[in-house]
Structure formats: structure tokens, C-alpha cells
Structure 1
Amino acid sequence: MSNAAVSVRQGADRSDGPLHFALIMDGNGRWAAARGLPRAEGHRRGVEALRRVVRAAHELGIRHLTIFSFSAENWSRPASEIGDLFGLLRRFIRNDLATLHRDGVRVRVIGEREGLDGDICSLLNEAEELTRSNTRLNLVVAFNYGSRQEIARAAKRLAREVAEGKRDPDTIDADVLGQYLDAPDIPHPDLLIRTSGEQRLSNFLMWQAAYSELVFVPIHWPDFDKAALEEAIAEYARRERRFGGLVAKTAS
């Protein structure tokens, strides 16, 4: 069964909430600026919000959570801010990995690792290896990630197979290309939430989110909590997911 079919089945069979939701955690800098604090403090408080939301996902029975941790475009930010973000990642993994493992969270990382500092790669590998057998929640971390770059990597792998005579190009369709993305076994998100009022995907999961329900909330990420998540899920539950088809109406 293709990823798209898995996602459609989950959407059709859901009772009152998503099995997979994705997060664009936006607004750390604006949260800090509104309080006269350095951007680094906004990022630090954003990590606290992430802890709350992972815990809430546990409690709400969500099976998959994908977070946009560091985008391929974030390299254009000032070096000092990039250093702060990487420092927070290091501390998050070192301080929280044991708790995530104890709570049954499996950590997956998508994105490009080539060119990253060796200690960052080691920490990401450690998180994945330690938690590989956990099944309670899949926490997918999009790090040094861009959706266009992910699709280009998949296309390059397929092109190489064609050039080597391992694949007939006529066999390539959307389902085949989808299997060459970074985590093809993860079902597509039912719900994608972006905080801080911005209403765009910003190169995040553009393939996987083709039929996701999008919810944009005005709250800056450091203020996002379980109540805000539940409100977004309630909005999701009110919507009809058609996946390009029609929803049959019952006679009144």
C-alpha cells in the first residue's frame, strides 16, 4: 500500500483526531522581541514548548509527530543565532533523550546530514539508535530539511537507477517516487499546524502534506500548549476530508 493510501485510510477511519500531525514551530523571535528579550531566549522557551507538546501528544494518543526543527534555508540567519539553535539541539538531545526513551518515543531524523558538524551527526545517530525499538510515539525531527531538496534527492536516486539500467523509467509514478523520500514508511500527516499567524508551508513536507488539513494559529510557538493543540485538533475534527472525491450525504 502506498503512503498516500495509508494517509487516506487513516483520514477516513479516524474517529475524532489525527494519528499524525506536523508542526511548523514559528514565532520564537517575535515572542522574545515583544518582551524585550534576546532571540536566544525565545528559542530556549520554544524548546520548553516542544517538551509540553510531545507530552501532550502522548496523552492524546497521537502516533506520529513531525516537527520542523531547522530548515535548509535557516543557514542564511546570523551565525550567532545558528550557534544558539545548534546549542539548544545539543542540550535537548543530551537532557531529554533518556526521558523520551523511557516514555516509548522513537526519534527519527529527516533532512540532509552531509556537511553537519560531526558531534551533531553523532547525537542524531545516537537518538535514532537508542530509541529504534520504541513504538508509543514516532517523533520525526526535520533537521537541515527542505521539501524541495528532499524531492530532488529522491529524483536523483531514481535517475541514477535508470542510468544504471536498474529501473525502467516508465515504471516511475507518484507512488514510486514517494518511496524514495526521507521516511517513506511514515504515514502522511493528517493535520499540519503552523504557529505565529503565518500561512504558508515554507518548504516543509510539501509532498506529504498534499492532503493534510492546515491549521494556522496566531499564538507564538513558546506559548503553544496542550490546550492550543486540542483546539487545533477540534478544528481538524470539524472538517470533511475528501482527498479529491466527494463525501456521500445521507438523506434527512
Structure 2
Amino acid sequence: MNSAASSRVPRHIAIIMDGNGRWAMQQGKPRLHGHEAGVHAARTIVRAGRDAGVEALTLYAFSSENWLRPATEVSFLLELFIRTMAVELDTLHDEGVRVRFIGDRTALPSNLLAIIEASERRTASNPGMVLVIALGYGGRQDLVQTVRALGAQIEAGALKAADLDEKTLRDALDLGDLPDPDLLIRTGGEYRISNFLLWHLAYTEFYFSDILWPDFSSADFHQALAWFAERERRFGRTGAQVHSERGDQDAQ
């Protein structure tokens, strides 16, 4: 890989961390053990992203559909989030990481809400990578809530329907203040986006890995970065237009 390609680090990476349950079954252990192992993988990849110069990393930790899982598994996952943030927050803060959560918080237990709010307050001014944790998040839910909020503004006379455009809608979404993901990584061998960031992934590069999430290493992450660096991102333009624009930039 040439030096120009190696310097093309995605500004924003989104990850669907899939395969915890299957990994545990392969180990002959309960599914819940896989979720604990997945936390260790997440810790490794957060550090790898920060060290690589990624500006924002969004992890799909718990989807709006995950509420339909068995109650024991849901309770375990929520408790795992609480324990993980209690352990990791000091380190993330010391490393300058800014922690944010997106998703519907209405069904979350009060002790988890307290940790979420404390984490966001404590790290709000940190200058480093933004770590976004999607918790109780669904892409369709995000769009519906945004449309409702904009509709309320129209009803109140604060916004005109004629003034609605893509930017207005995008800015009102959960990640409206961050650049759209340049790269989506999904582990576990599945080839779908599972209701994740539906608006934001319009021009994202998709990288699918057969590796189950607990086994996804820093080396695997860097392999995804290397793959991304070789991609030609056209955004609907032709290859000739892209190369022409690059030539103009080089001449400046």
C-alpha cells in the first residue's frame, strides 16, 4: 500500500459488533459469556481507533430490536453496560475521549441513565476522539423521532415546511453534528446493516468480516483501514471526475 493510501484514515467509523453469542457457543459457554468477551474486544478497538487518528467511532451496542431478546439476557446486557462504564470511564477521560450515547433512553433503568449522563458531562470538553455508543438505538426510530420534532416546530410556527431540506433533517438526527461514517465494519459474517444509521450510511463504504466480534483484534481493525484506504470514493461521480479533482488539488 502506497503512502498516499496509508494516510487515508476514515474520519468516522461505525461498527456493528456481531457474533458474541455464536462465539460463546463455539467455546461451549453460555451466550452471556460472549457479551463479556465482546467488551474486551470493544476496549481494544476503541484504543486502536484513537491511536489511528479516527475522529469519531460509533459502536452499535444495543439495538431497539434487542429489547425483544430473553429478559435475562437484556438484564445482563444492561448491567454489563453499567459495570463497563464504571471501569472504563476514568481511562477514557484521561485519554481525552469524548463519550456520547444515542438512542431511546425512555426504557433504560435509572442507574444506567445516571452513568450515561455522568459520562457525557464529564467528557464533554475532551478534545480527542468521539466515542458514540448506540444504546436502544434504531435507524427507523431515529428518523421517526426527528420527523416528529420537526413537525412540532412547524406546528408551533418556528419552522416552515417549505424550508425543510436534507440539511435540516440531517442536523436534527442523533448524529447530526458529526460527519457521516466513512466506513462501516460489521463482524460475524452477516451482510446487512440491521436498522443502523439508515440516513447516515448513504455513501459509507461497507466492510464485512467473518470474524466473530470477541476475536476481532487490532490487526483486523487495521486490515479494515487498509482496505478502506484503497477504495475510490466517487459519491455518484465518475472515476474520471474524481481523478480530475485530485489532480486539481495536487496542483494547488
Q: Give TM-score, length-normalised by structure 2.
A: 0.92
Q: Distance between the aligned counterparts of 2:224 and 2:136, measured in 1?
A: 26
Work out whether residues 9 and 53 of structure 2, in 8 Å CA contact, stay in contact via their aligned partners in 1. Answer: no
Matches within 5 A, 1:69-80: 69-80=61-72
Moved more, 66-75 or 163-172: 163-172
SS at match of 1:242: coil
2:79 to 80, 87, 91: 87
SS at match of 2:131: strand
Find the counterpart in structure 2 of residue 187 from structure 1: 179
Find the counterpart in structure 2 of residue 101 from structure 1: 93
1:115 CA displacement: 2.5
Q: Which amino acid aligns with 1:91?
A: R
Q: Distance between the aligned counterparts of 1:21 and 1:201, measured in 2?
A: 14
Find the counterpart in structure 1 of residue 250 from structure 2: none
Q: Which amino acid aligns with 1:236?
A: F
1:237 to 220, 229, 235: 229
Q: Distance between the aligned counterparts of 1:161 and 1:96, measured in 2?
A: 39
Find the counterpart in structure 2 of residue 171 from structure 1: 163
SS at match of 1:179: helix
Find the counterpart in structure 1 of residue 117 from structure 2: 125
Work out whether residues 6 and 229 of structure 2, in 8 Å CA contact, stay in contact via their aligned partners in 1. Answer: no
Matched positions, count: 239
Q: Distance between the aligned counterparts of 1:67 and 1:159, measured in 2?
A: 29
Find the counterpart in structure 2 of residue 212 from structure 1: 204
Cα deviation code 1:163-202 (max 9, x no counterpart): 1122110110111111110131111110000000101000
Unaligned ranges ≥5, structure 1:
1-12
Find the counterpart in structure 1 of residue 143 from structure 2: 151
1:47 to 15, 39, 51: 39
Q: Distance between the aligned counterparts of 2:98 and 2:149, measured in 1?
A: 27
Q: Which amino acid aligns with 1:245?
A: R
1:14 CA displacement: 9.4
SS at match of 2:78: helix
Find the counterpart in structure 1 of residue 108 from structure 2: 116
What value does the CA root-mean-square deviation take over the aligned residues? 1.5
2:134 to 142, 160, 163: 142
Q: Percent identity?
A: 45
Q: Give TM-score, length-normalised by structure 1.
A: 0.92
SS at match of 1:53: helix
Find the counterpart in structure 2 of residue 32 from structure 1: 24
Unaligned ranges ≥5, structure 2:
248-252
1:227 CA displacement: 0.4
Cα deviation code 1:188-244 (max 9, x no counterpart): 110000000101000001111110000000000000111000111111111110111
Q: Which amino acid aligns with 1:148?
A: R
